[in-house]
Structure 1
């Protein structure tokens, strides 16, 4: 039987042995760890096409998670992703999800002659690799820290129902994506595997967090674009300018879902210079009960301190100050675990605009 280069032996065999192994009908290729200087082989991406079993045969960078926007997902204008206030927070780097029925996997192998991803960092090229493990029962190594063995399957488990699950990573360059090292495995229908990095409602909520789109922070100013030294600039937002955003994430064939809600709670002003006073002193203006912020400027308010605003102490010298305005959004979620409402780190979205400040000259007689 021809030799087949495995992902494990790729790290230790000599170059000549590697070339000899490539004479076989197929080759299992794995990316080197991120610290390695050896470039990875090309990854076959089937592009998300569906086979006749209705199964998606995309690469391991494509998730089956379905997103919808029950609230706040429409509208026009520029939008952007939230940045978490907690610098240590990040969305999930990898997880496992169902991608094939047994019949679908058999069809995929026959149609592609066995070219595709069996995990995030491992692709199998050659039909023999797939049939050895998933049709003829040959064990294979899992690409994880414990170097565990994966038992083989007979005839792709056709007739047993259930799904074959595979690891997924939105960014395969993320070092944490190497934590999901099992090769594709079968799981009975209606069961979520009890393994590290199996999907959960919380994981879906965190995935949805990263998909929240909020409008840019356009604030009303009086005076607009140009302020005067020691004359307060009033800042406000009309009610209804910012509304709750809800993102729902569902993972098909698992019964798992989560809804992540972003609620605007405050506006923070950074004048762009230390030579300025903010109102209030913290620079943070909370939303009013009606969803507005601050109070609109009225004639006669010029010499009063606004509930939300800025007073510049020095004029600009031709280069405007960079006024930064950021909305803080409180993030919560609930999901298919029916365990109530949970919190995630607050998120922010910031915009910057030019602010020129003039100094009124007076003449003493």
Structure 2
């Protein structure tokens, strides 16, 4: 039986109790973006009850570690990581063990849960056809004895965020695929998909810039901005999908620091506000005694004092993102940014002795 969540919301307590006593029940979401089905999982183990858990393994291969970090934001507002895909979850024996150990309670797809062993044994043991939860409500042929003894895996849809409307694009219930073969279905995993998944896992350092003067800037005198070498280095994150030969490495390379002075009454250096990141990972040039009236390679001149309300200086690092993966595949992904904001006070003094 398939029971939409819209029906669940209207069902009485008594009727729900009767339903749960039946041999097996399929709970299916009916409205994209409004997922209220029961779910559970064994996070960190090889089998899962919930389709929100992925088996993809992610690790940082190179780049700085430690300190404060944050996630990249794509400069392309229309880009986002994959909403759903399919991946191998169980061998035949593992699926049988999963059903036995969990009393037949778990997800057979992103938006469909089966409760009670009856549905599982009917379809995966006794060969009874079932319907996919896709737009066409296509038929999924049944299996005999969980396909135990065959070389391959049952694949299931995965969605990190099941409330994402696009997660409804993966509507097939758990299906079989022979070993060493990626299924030819829409939203099957690819190296590019893994690269996009890894993009969302890249952690970059906080944009902590050094200023001179450090306490207050002065009207009409430049404030120098720089970062020491090695602060910003290339970061590489690898994603592997177990039980396939699919992998991808996503590389984020820092290319520029953009300064937003927090007011239109300011001049940036360069005029674009984009300071190049040097080959050694440094930005700009450190201030030295006697540089007070020189033009910095990276910096700001404020034209008006703050008068008690500081300007909010925003420093944004642009990261150029590329990837490579299985079989020599490679490509580019949208640039990413990460920014921090700090308060700047500007004093009304025409000359200072530094």
TM-score normalized with structure 2 length: 0.93
Determine whether 1:348 maps to 2:337. yes
The residue aligned with 2:306 is 316
Displacement of 1:35: 6.3
The residue aligned with 1:284 is 274
Deviations 1:167-225 (A, max 9, x none): 00111111111111100001000010011100000000000000000000011111114
Conserved? CA contact 2:4–2:29, under 8 Å: no
Distance across 2 between alignment mates of 1:213 and 1:58:
29
Determine whether 1:83 maps to 2:73. yes
Determine whether 1:57 maps to 2:48. yes
Distance across 2 between alignment mates of 1:11 and 1:182:
22
Range moving further from structure 2, 287-296 or 346-355: 287-296
The residue aligned with 1:128 is 118
Aligned partner of residue 337 in structure 1, secondary structure: helix
1:31 maps to which of 29, 32, 38: 29
Displacement of 1:258: 0.1
Distance across 1 between alignment mates of 2:31 and 2:133:
11
Distance across 2 between alignment mates of 1:32 and 1:217:
44
Conserved? CA contact 1:96–1:198, under 8 Å: yes
Determine whether 1:46 maps to 2:46. no
Determine whether 1:328 maps to 2:318. yes
Distance across 2 between alignment mates of 1:197 and 1:334:
19
Unaligned runs of 5+ in 2: none
Distance change >3 Å, CA 245–CA 35, structure 1 → 2: closer
The residue aligned with 1:184 is 174
Distance across 2 between alignment mates of 1:92 and 1:100:
22
The residue aligned with 1:206 is 196
Distance across 2 between alignment mates of 1:70 and 1:225:
38
Conserved? CA contact 1:225–1:354, under 8 Å: no
Deviations 1:22-43 (A, max 9, x none): 552221101221366xx73322
Determine whether 1:6 maps to 2:2. yes
Deviations 1:80-106 (A, max 9, x none): 000001001100000000000001001
Determine whether 1:238 maps to 2:228. yes
Q: Which runs of 4+ in 1 moved over 6 A?
A: 8-12
Conserved? CA contact 1:32–1:40, under 8 Å: no
Deviations 1:57-100 (A, max 9, x none): 2410010000111101x532100000001001100000000000
Determine whether 1:338 maps to 2:328. yes
The residue aligned with 2:60 is 69
The residue aligned with 2:135 is 145
Distance across 1 between alignment mates of 2:179 and 2:333:
31
- What number of residue pairs does the alignment pair up? 348
Distance across 1 between alignment mates of 2:6 and 2:19:
10
Conserved? CA contact 2:226–2:284, under 8 Å: yes
The residue aligned with 2:245 is 255
Distance across 2 between alignment mates of 1:238 and 1:46:
45
Displacement of 1:49: 6.2
Conserved? CA contact 1:30–1:40, under 8 Å: no
The residue aligned with 1:98 is 88
